[in-house]
Amino acid sequence: MWFKNLSLFRFTEPFTLQADELAEKLEDLQFRPCGGHEEYSYGWTAPLGKAEQALVHASNGYMMLCVKKEERVLPTAVVNEMIQEKAAETEEKQGRKLSKKERTELKDELIFDLLPRAFTFSRKTYAYIDAKGGWLVVDAASTKSAEDLLSLLRKSLGSLPAVPVNTINNPVTVMTQWLVSQQTPDDIVIEDECELRSPEEEGSVIRCKRHDLALPEIQNHLDSGKEVIKLAMNWADRLSFVFDKNFAIKRVRFLDLVQDQLKDMDIEDEATRFDADFSIMSAELGGFLPRLLEIFGGEAGRS
């Protein structure tokens, strides 16, 4: 279980629940399949799936959660075609054009009839709580997916004092200075991808992939005032990732120095493998995330 994206939130108060207490609070919003006329269902499920039914998987002080969303699929083109056919049939019978309100009602009726027969698909979003470090880490590439999980957790617990990361130094300013000076902290190496944007509203955007970011053409863009809003980097030869201006971390790869820790482990089944992956990953991020805050000047609003 290796996260590929990191949406990060900080607890503003200590998180004091133990794993069994947390699991009990999640039970009321446990996942259940879509009902016949529901467009989607969203709730907590066991991180380990069939291998373990517990809603919280705990390891070395870290607690893994998983939310599942099941949606019914009604292709828009198919629905629109059926609406047109039904509307034309109704208009011919009544000898008049349907109003906008009548067409909307027709669409609602059609969707209601089709939903029980629609296919479903599901996806899971994982997260873990680092109570000691004060982190909630969500494996989500989109802000909406992370916020949806956060909202469900807040609903399950009644309240959740967690906020997005806010650092003293602006990530855009720091990353831009790195490229301008070609100097970074000792444990950070710039890789071959970036996104530059002019600071003005609706400013032009330059995206570079598999490109030497020290070349004069990149410097020319920076000299003209463009700023770095995304940057691929490597931390201590342990993690490779793309970091963006909103402190989101995407396309994370745990490199050989981390993955090699699995070689000497006796892994017999899926549950053991999941626990080993989670233990190594969470411990690694437990060292990386505080260092990342330090690189960007520490947290704003914290002493």
pTM for this predicted structure: 0.85
Cβ–Cβ < 8 Å for 230, 211 = no
Instruction: Please give the chain's pLDDT, 303 residues, in tens.
Output: 799 999 999 999 999 999 999 999 999 999 999 887 788 899 999 999 876 789 999 999 999 999 999 988 777 777 788 788 888 888 888 888 888 888 888 888 877 777 777 778 899 999 999 999 999 999 999 999 999 999 999 999 999 999 999 999 999 999 999 999 999 999 999 999 999 999 887 778 999 999 999 999 999 999 999 999 999 999 999 999 999 999 999 999 999 999 988 887 777 788 888 999 999 999 999 999 999 999 999 998 765
With vertex at residue 154, the alpha carbon angle to CA 153 and CA 158, rounded to the nearest 5 degrees, is: 120
How far is the C-alpha of 75 from the C-alpha of 111, rounded, in Å?
11
Burial of 281 (0-12, 13-18, 19+ CB in 10 A): buried
Domain parsing of the chain, residue ranges:
7-74+119-164, 76-116, 171-246
pLDDT tens digits, 189-210: 999 999 999 988 777 899 999 9
